[in-house]
Amino acid sequence: MLVLGILAVVFAAAVSPLYSVVGTYEMEDANTSIVQALRQSQGEAIAGVGGLPHGVHRSGNAFTEFTGGSFATRVMAFDRTFMIPSNITLSGATDILFNLSTGFADALASITLSRALSNSRTVMVNAVGSVDW
C-alpha cells in the first residue's frame, strides 16, 4: 500500500510538468496559426485576389479566412476555417479586414489567446496591417 502511495505521488509529479509542456506547444501552435491566417489574408488583399478585400473572422474557438468586404457579405466558396484546441480561449476583435491593394487594416485590432494554466498571448494588427505578437 505504501508503495502504491509513493508511485501515485511520483506519477502526479511527473504528469504536471508534461501537461505544462503540452499546453505551451498548443498555445504556440494556435498563435502561429492565427498569425499565418492574418498574413495570408493581408497578402491576398495586396495581390488583389478575387478583386475584393480579405480578412479573418473569429468565432468561438475557430477563425475563418474570408474574401469580401465583411464576413456577412463574404464569398463563402473561398472560406478557410481553422479550429483552436478547446482548452484555449480566443477573445478580442471579431473581424480583421485588410483593404484591397494596400493591405492596410480597416482598424486597429487584437486577438488574445488564453489558457487556464498558462500565460495569455496577444496578436495585434496596426493600421498599416503589421502583425505583431
* pLDDT, tens only, 28-58: 999 999 999 999 999 999 999 999 999 999 9
| Angle at 23 (CA atoms; ends 19, 27), nearest 5 degrees | 175
% pLDDT > 90, the chain = 77
Domains of the chain and CATH, by start: 2-132 (3.55.40.10)
Measured between alpha carbons, how far is 95 from 111 in angstroms, rounded to an integer?
10
* pLDDT, tens only, 73-98: 999 999 999 999 999 999 999 999 99
* pLDDT, tens only, 95-121: 999 999 999 999 999 999 999 876 899
Measured between alpha carbons, how far is 93 from 95 in angstroms, rounded to an integer?
6
**Residue whose grid cell is 463574404:** 74
Radius of gyration of the chain (CA): 19
Query: At residue 17, what is the residue type?
Result: P
Beta bridge partners of 118: 115
DSSP tag of 1: -
